[in-house]
Structure 1
Amino acid sequence: MTSTEFSSMVQKISKSLKPVALNLTRDADDAKDLVQETLLKALLNKDKFKAGSNLKAWLYTIMRNTFINNYNKITKRSSNIDSTEYFQYFNTDENYIAKNGAVYTFVVSDINEAIAHLNEEYRTPFMMYYIGFKYLEIAEKLNIPIGTVKNRIHIARKELKQVLKIYELNG
């Protein structure tokens, strides 16, 4: 199957993904994000799809797994961050303390410093998203368009990744 054929088939099926995503997320914006992320993963991993198998089921599986992974990330974030204060970056929960306390201290310090050095217009939406606010809630609280919120969070992540690339895992 060529890339064009695959893309065409995915595009035809993509319309049926939105109701399922909406059922999972219970939020229109999150459903759109989930569908978009599902389609991106499908297109990036088209070589893993076996021609002749059920493409729709494959896409639903990608969507379900993506939703579960995102849900787990959000609940993990929410449980480790004090949401009463936007910029309290990390709790000192014993489950997350490295065996080498000095290394842990340096890592947390570097992360906090990198976040503190973000431009305020990127840091605020990033931290709000980090502690569990949805894109729409951030847009409403900051009185900016949702697309701007997504863009600022993306830029903040990109800048943090660049600054903290010394901690990148190899392999």
Structure 2
Amino acid sequence: MTAIDFSTMVQGVAQSLRPAAMNLTRDADDAKDLVQETLLKALNNPDKFKTGTNLKAWLYTIMRNTFINNYNKITKRSSNIDSAEYLQYLNADENYITQNKGSATFVMNDINQAISKLNEEHRTPFMMYYVGYKYLEIAEKLQIPIGTVKNRIHIARKELKQMLKVYQQEA
């Protein structure tokens, strides 16, 4: 079958596709688009049509599959949450966020209590490091070796971690 013969046959059946397209889309413009897309796919792929089979059924199958594919694309696109609406909260100023300062107060009280329970030889280097002193500066101020400073800070951290393990987040 030549391309002209195939094209003539497809155009002859094209009118019968419109009611089915309208039934699928429920919109006149969408139905016209669906028929046009169906005819375009059919005319671009004449080699996929088997001569002697039902041309009308083949075109209906193309139209139905096209409709389903388009529908799936649309529903997939619209089912994604529009994250732009929620992104404003990530970059919001502190003015827009209401926080309960009570829980922070409890946490800070627990931290301060835990620090006060540390042995003095561990607490002093730890607090100096916490406020911004470097290891070498702490060693010079306390007149102890830098290795001892590092060890005492490490022990203080370890003890604090143990005392405050109720605040550790589970992985």
TM-score by length of 2: 0.48
Q: Which has the larger radius of gyration?
A: 2
Which has the larger share of helix? 2
